[in-house]
Protein backbone atom coordinates (compact mmCIF):
# COMPACT_ATOMS: atom_id res chain seq x y z
CA UNK A 1 0.00 0.00 0.00
CA UNK A 2 2.68 2.48 0.71
CA UNK A 3 3.82 2.10 -2.87
CA UNK A 4 0.49 3.12 -4.32
CA UNK A 5 0.43 6.30 -2.24
CA UNK A 6 3.75 7.37 -3.66
CA UNK A 7 2.39 6.84 -7.14
CA UNK A 8 -0.69 8.85 -6.44
CA UNK A 9 1.39 11.61 -4.90
CA UNK A 10 3.69 11.59 -7.93
CA UNK A 11 0.71 11.70 -10.30
CA UNK A 12 -0.78 14.62 -8.40
CA UNK A 13 2.55 16.47 -8.52
CA UNK A 14 2.78 15.86 -12.24
CA UNK A 15 -0.76 17.18 -12.73
CA UNK A 16 0.01 20.24 -10.63
CA UNK A 17 3.20 20.93 -12.58
CA UNK A 18 1.41 20.45 -15.87
CA UNK A 19 -1.29 22.83 -14.71
CA UNK A 20 1.28 25.43 -13.65
CA UNK A 21 3.16 25.02 -16.90
CA UNK A 22 -0.01 25.50 -18.89
CA UNK A 23 -0.90 28.58 -16.88
CA UNK A 24 2.55 30.10 -17.36
CA UNK A 25 2.45 29.27 -21.06
CA UNK A 26 -1.01 30.85 -21.44
CA UNK A 27 0.06 33.98 -19.56
CA UNK A 28 3.18 34.30 -21.70
CA UNK A 29 1.12 33.81 -24.85
CA UNK A 30 -1.40 36.47 -23.68
CA UNK A 31 1.43 38.97 -23.01
CA UNK A 32 2.93 38.38 -26.46
CA UNK A 33 -0.43 38.72 -28.22
CA UNK A 34 -1.34 41.83 -26.19
CA UNK A 35 2.03 43.42 -26.95
CA UNK A 36 1.65 42.65 -30.64
CA UNK A 37 -1.84 44.11 -30.72
CA UNK A 38 -0.68 47.26 -28.93
CA UNK A 39 2.25 47.69 -31.32
CA UNK A 40 -0.04 47.12 -34.31
CA UNK A 41 -2.53 49.70 -33.08
CA UNK A 42 0.24 52.24 -32.51
CA UNK A 43 1.75 51.48 -35.89
CA UNK A 44 -1.48 52.01 -37.84
CA UNK A 45 -3.29 54.62 -35.77
CA UNK A 46 -0.80 56.28 -33.45
CA UNK A 47 2.41 58.26 -33.57
CA UNK A 48 4.29 55.45 -35.32
CA UNK A 49 2.02 55.77 -38.37
CA UNK A 50 3.24 59.28 -39.17
CA UNK A 51 6.58 59.65 -40.92
CA UNK A 52 9.23 61.31 -38.85
CA UNK A 53 9.99 64.75 -40.21
CA UNK A 54 13.47 66.05 -39.79
CA UNK A 55 13.56 69.47 -38.20
CA UNK A 56 15.29 71.90 -40.50
CA UNK A 57 18.59 73.09 -39.16
CA UNK A 58 18.82 76.80 -38.89
CA UNK A 59 21.63 78.19 -40.95
CA UNK A 60 23.88 80.75 -39.37
CA UNK A 61 23.07 84.17 -40.75
CA UNK A 62 25.06 87.37 -41.11
CA UNK A 63 23.70 90.90 -41.09
CA UNK A 64 24.99 94.07 -42.67
CA UNK A 65 23.73 97.47 -41.54
CA UNK A 66 23.74 99.88 -44.48
CA UNK A 67 23.37 102.81 -42.12
CA UNK A 68 20.81 105.54 -41.68
CA UNK A 69 20.07 107.78 -44.67
CA UNK A 70 17.87 110.80 -45.35
CA UNK A 71 16.40 110.68 -48.85
CA UNK A 72 14.43 113.20 -50.92
CA UNK A 73 11.31 111.49 -52.15
CA UNK A 74 10.07 111.93 -55.72
CA UNK A 75 7.02 113.97 -56.55
CA UNK A 76 5.98 117.54 -56.97
CA UNK A 77 4.87 119.80 -54.21
CA UNK A 78 6.48 120.40 -50.84
CA UNK A 79 9.72 118.53 -50.28
CA UNK A 80 9.14 115.21 -48.56
CA UNK A 81 11.95 113.32 -46.87
CA UNK A 82 12.42 109.73 -45.87
CA UNK A 83 14.77 108.76 -43.08
CA UNK A 84 15.52 105.07 -43.42
CA UNK A 85 17.94 102.56 -41.97
CA UNK A 86 18.32 99.27 -43.83
CA UNK A 87 19.78 96.00 -42.56
CA UNK A 88 20.45 93.05 -44.87
CA UNK A 89 20.38 89.43 -43.69
CA UNK A 90 22.09 86.66 -45.64
CA UNK A 91 23.62 83.19 -45.06
CA UNK A 92 27.05 83.13 -43.40
CA UNK A 93 28.70 81.60 -46.47
CA UNK A 94 32.33 82.76 -46.65
CA UNK A 95 32.21 83.77 -50.33
CA UNK A 96 28.87 85.54 -49.98
CA UNK A 97 29.99 87.43 -46.86
CA UNK A 98 33.10 88.68 -48.65
CA UNK A 99 31.11 89.62 -51.76
CA UNK A 100 28.43 91.54 -49.82
CA UNK A 101 31.03 93.47 -47.84
CA UNK A 102 32.99 94.26 -51.00
CA UNK A 103 29.85 95.43 -52.83
CA UNK A 104 28.39 97.38 -49.90
CA UNK A 105 28.64 100.77 -51.70
CA UNK A 106 26.82 99.37 -54.77
CA UNK A 107 24.14 97.78 -52.59
CA UNK A 108 23.63 101.03 -50.68
CA UNK A 109 23.33 102.89 -53.99
CA UNK A 110 20.70 100.41 -55.19
CA UNK A 111 18.63 100.98 -52.05
CA UNK A 112 18.92 104.76 -52.36
CA UNK A 113 18.04 104.80 -56.06
CA UNK A 114 14.91 102.72 -55.57
CA UNK A 115 13.74 104.75 -52.58
CA UNK A 116 14.40 108.07 -54.34
CA UNK A 117 12.09 107.00 -57.15
CA UNK A 118 9.16 106.60 -54.76
CA UNK A 119 6.68 109.28 -53.78
CA UNK A 120 5.41 109.85 -50.25
CA UNK A 121 2.10 108.24 -51.22
CA UNK A 122 3.93 105.11 -52.35
CA UNK A 123 5.99 104.66 -49.16
CA UNK A 124 3.55 105.83 -46.49
CA UNK A 125 1.09 102.93 -46.35
CA UNK A 126 2.65 100.14 -44.31
CA UNK A 127 1.27 97.55 -46.71
CA UNK A 128 3.47 99.00 -49.49
CA UNK A 129 6.67 98.45 -47.54
CA UNK A 130 6.69 94.73 -48.32
CA UNK A 131 6.53 95.44 -52.05
CA UNK A 132 9.36 97.98 -51.71
CA UNK A 133 11.45 95.45 -49.78
CA UNK A 134 10.87 92.84 -52.50
CA UNK A 135 11.86 95.32 -55.22
CA UNK A 136 15.06 96.21 -53.36
CA UNK A 137 15.91 92.55 -52.66
CA UNK A 138 15.39 91.60 -56.31
CA UNK A 139 17.72 94.39 -57.44
CA UNK A 140 20.38 93.56 -54.83
CA UNK A 141 20.28 89.82 -55.55
CA UNK A 142 20.70 90.47 -59.28
CA UNK A 143 24.11 92.00 -58.46
CA UNK A 144 25.35 89.09 -56.32
CA UNK A 145 27.11 86.05 -57.75
CA UNK A 146 27.77 83.79 -54.72
CA UNK A 147 24.33 83.65 -53.12
CA UNK A 148 21.52 85.94 -52.22
CA UNK A 149 20.31 88.23 -49.48
CA UNK A 150 17.34 86.51 -47.88
CA UNK A 151 15.83 89.31 -45.80
CA UNK A 152 15.80 93.07 -45.71
CA UNK A 153 14.75 95.01 -42.61
CA UNK A 154 13.83 98.66 -42.22
CA UNK A 155 14.99 99.39 -38.68
CA UNK A 156 14.09 103.07 -39.05
CA UNK A 157 11.46 104.40 -41.45
CA UNK A 158 10.21 107.96 -41.06
CA UNK A 159 8.53 110.13 -43.69
CA UNK A 160 8.41 113.85 -43.11
> Once rounded to an integer, what is the mean pLDDT over residues 126-139?
91
DSSP for 63-109, please give it: EEEEEEEEEEPBSSSS--EEEEEEEEEEE--HHHHHHHHHTHHHHHH
Q: How big is the CA angle at 129 (ends 123 and 134), to the nearest 5 degrees?
A: 120
Distance CA 133, CA 149 (A): 11
Q: What is d(CA 122, CA 129) in angstroms, rounded to the nearest whole number? A: 9
Task: Please tell me the pTM assigned to this model.
Answer: 0.62
The SS3 call for residue 16 is: helix
In this predicted structure, the answer to whether residue 39 has a pLDDT above a threshold of 90 is no
Residue 66 has pLDDT above 70, yes or no: yes
Amino acid sequence: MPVSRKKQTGDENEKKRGGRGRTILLLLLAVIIGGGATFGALWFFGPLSKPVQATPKERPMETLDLGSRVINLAGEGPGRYLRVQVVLEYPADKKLVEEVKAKQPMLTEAVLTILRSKTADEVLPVKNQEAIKKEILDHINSQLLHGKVEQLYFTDFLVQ
